[in-house]
Structure 1
Amino acid sequence: MIYTVTFNPSLDYIVQVEAFQTGRVNRTSSEQLLPGGKGINVSIVLKNLGIETTALGFLAGFTGKEIEERIREYGCRTDFTWLLKGHSRINLKLKSAIESEINGQGPDISEEALMNLYEKLSRLTDEDMLVLAGSIPASLPSSIYQQIMSRLTKKNLKIIVDASGDLLLQVLKYHPFLIKPNNHELSELFDIPLTKEEDYIACGLKLQEKGAKNVLISLAGAGAILITEQGEVIKSKAPKGKVVNSVGAGDSMVAGFITGYLETGNYGHALKMGIAAGSSSAFSSQLATKAEVTAMLEKMENKVV
């Protein structure tokens, strides 16, 4: 089973306004309500690709109920920890000439609720995979990813971490199976401008030296680079297309990579599946479906080199 953890899920209210103006009443031309959060996105795309998954994390209030219901509509299993106070956040995504976002804070997570999540994670077996993705709310310690991985060190399960900054650096000593920094996050981690392929590879190798087994570097429209635990560097360009919505593309890449790896155990195939899934989501208004990813794989002209 693939488990994902989303600490601060959201109900994303996505609105299109043709010519948004401040200080005036604006009317939408289209609206969407979607469950949001990086781990949740990974679970949805995994299920779309035929992989069973369970979404973990924290929910609260009437918005939490709506989030869970919408996740289940995708066919995903859920085992959230419910908070007694507050409500899960609503994020407003405004699409107009200039895109803007207003993200809610989310509820406070109590120590008791956190212990409940730890107990659920303690049941994972060596055959499971765990995905830790995204930022964390202010009510949790900044070392929460590290604490989770420390508790799971005696298990041999594969853990994927998609986070930035200290959240990522703190877990490297626990040898995550996969980390997925994008080009901007990699530049911020090392506090240097990165523009060349060899620079990305050099920084990826440094993260591997710190403990990561596999390093997947997303380069947005330029494709991705994978540095495997065997020391192989695999590169692939992304297919061309019109970006409709970049939100969730990175999470889709993680889901595609996991799917490709589970299908064949081949890292080259996993990389291609990751890029196909990420591109499919970027070129669509919603997260990638299996049909879209399959079609994208067929269209990809650039083979892994």
Structure 2
Amino acid sequence: MIYTVTFNPCLDYVVNVDTLTLGAVNRASRETVMAGGKGVNVSIVLKNLGHASCAWGFLAGFTGDEIARRLRDMGIDTDFISVCEGMSRINVKVKAAEETEINGIGPAITEADVEALYAKIDQLTADDILIVSGSVPATMPGDIYERILARLDGRGVRIVVDATRDLLVNVLPYHPFLIKPNNHELGEIFDVVLTTREDVVPYAKKLQERGARNVLVSMAGEGAVLVTEDGDVIESPSPKGTVVNSVGAGDSMVAGFVAGYLESDGSYEQAFRMGVCTGSASAFSLGLATRDQVEELLAR
């Protein structure tokens, strides 16, 4: 079974305005509400690709109820932990000439809530895949990623980590199955600027030397690079298309990689191709990638 963890799920309120004028009343030309958060996005795309997953994390208040309802309506299994204080985030994304975002805070997550998550994690086996992604709320332990991987160390669970800076670096000794920084995040770790696929390779290998089994680096329009545990380097430009949405493209790449890996009986090349096309399919559409959109890009 595939499980996704989102520490701070949200409702994304996406509003389009022709012109955004500060200090004035602005009227929307279009608005959309959707369940969001990095792990939630992964579960949605996996469902679109025909793969079941169970979404874990923390929810609170009427917004938390709405997140869970929307996922259930999509046919996605959920097993969230209900938090007593506060409410799940509403993230406002204003699309005008420039895109502006205001992200909510989220609920107060207690030690007991975290222990409830650990109890679920402790039940995982070598047949499972765990995808942990996104930021950590201020009320949670800053080393939560490391704690999770330490609990699962030696159990054979394939763990995917999509995080930044220390959250990512500190889990490497536990040999995650896959990590997925983008080129900017990879550059921040080593204090360098990485702009081409050739630039990325040696630094991806450095993370592999520190313990990651496979390193997938997304690079927006430049494409992606995969350094595999078999010693292969696979790279590709992005498929041709018009980018209309940047939200969820990286999460879609993770979902596509996992789906491609499972569908090909462990072929990293096929997983990479599926990941790149799934990320691009989300970038080329207003919503998250569908199977038909991905297949169309794969056929090219």
TM-score bracket relative to the smaller structure: over 0.9
- Partner-residue secondary structure (3-state), 2:154: coil
Shift of 1:125: 1.2
1:8 maps to what in 2? 8
Shift of 1:198: 2.9
Q: When the two structures are superposed, what TM-score results if normalisation uses the length of structure 2?
A: 0.98
What amino acid is aligned across from residue 30 of structure 1 in structure 2?
R
Alpha-carbon distance between aligned partners in 1 of 2:195 and 2:241, rounded to the nearest angstrom: 22
1:238 to 2:257 alignment? no
1:61 maps to what in 2? 61
Alpha-carbon distance between aligned partners in 2 of 1:215 and 1:296, rounded to the nearest angstrom: 23
Alpha-carbon distance between aligned partners in 2 of 1:107 and 1:223, rounded to the nearest angstrom: 36
Alpha-carbon distance between aligned partners in 2 of 1:194 and 1:235, rounded to the nearest angstrom: 15
- Say whether the 8 Å CA contact 2:253–2:279 is kept in structure 1: yes
Matches for 1:199-278 after TM superposition, within 5 Å? 199-264=199-264, 265-278=266-279
Matches for 1:104-123 after TM superposition, within 5 Å? 104-123=104-123
1:137 maps to what in 2? 137
1:159 maps to what in 2? 159
1:285 to 2:300 alignment? no
2:90 maps to what in 1? 90
- Partner-residue secondary structure (3-state), 2:11: strand
Shift of 1:199: 2.4
- Partner-residue secondary structure (3-state), 1:272: helix
> Which is worse superposed, 166-175 or 198-207?
198-207
Shift of 1:122: 0.8
Alpha-carbon distance between aligned partners in 1 of 2:225 and 2:17, rounded to the nearest angstrom: 37
The one-character-per-residue Cα deviations of 1:185-228 (angstroms, maximum 9, x if unpaired) are 01111011223433210000000000000000111111111000
Alpha-carbon distance between aligned partners in 2 of 1:194 and 1:2, rounded to the nearest angstrom: 32
- Say whether the 8 Å CA contact 2:197–2:235 is kept in structure 1: no
The one-character-per-residue Cα deviations of 1:272-300 (angstroms, maximum 9, x if unpaired) are 1001100000011100011111111112x
Alpha-carbon distance between aligned partners in 2 of 1:196 and 1:253, rounded to the nearest angstrom: 19
- Say whether the 8 Å CA contact 2:197–2:222 is kept in structure 1: no
Q: When the two structures are superposed, what TM-score results if normalisation uses the length of structure 1?
A: 0.97
Alpha-carbon distance between aligned partners in 2 of 1:197 and 1:297, rounded to the nearest angstrom: 20
The one-character-per-residue Cα deviations of 1:114-169 (angstroms, maximum 9, x if unpaired) are 00000011111110000000111001121100000101113111000000100000
1:302 maps to what in 2? none
- Say whether the 8 Å CA contact 2:4–2:131 is kept in structure 1: yes
Matches for 1:21-100 after TM superposition, within 5 Å? 21-100=21-100
The one-character-per-residue Cα deviations of 1:169-189 (angstroms, maximum 9, x if unpaired) are 000000000000101101111
Shift of 1:267: 0.7
1:182 to 2:182 alignment? yes
Alpha-carbon distance between aligned partners in 1 of 2:60 and 2:243, rounded to the nearest angstrom: 33
Alpha-carbon distance between aligned partners in 2 of 1:105 and 1:31, rounded to the nearest angstrom: 21
The number of residue pairs the alignment matches comes to 299
Alpha-carbon distance between aligned partners in 1 of 2:128 and 2:197, rounded to the nearest angstrom: 33
Closer, same or farther in 2 for the Cα pair 1:30/1:196, shift >3 Å? Answer: closer
- Say whether the 8 Å CA contact 2:162–2:168 is kept in structure 1: yes
Alpha-carbon distance between aligned partners in 1 of 2:139 and 2:252, rounded to the nearest angstrom: 28
Alpha-carbon distance between aligned partners in 2 of 1:73 and 1:289, rounded to the nearest angstrom: 16
Shift of 1:72: 1.5
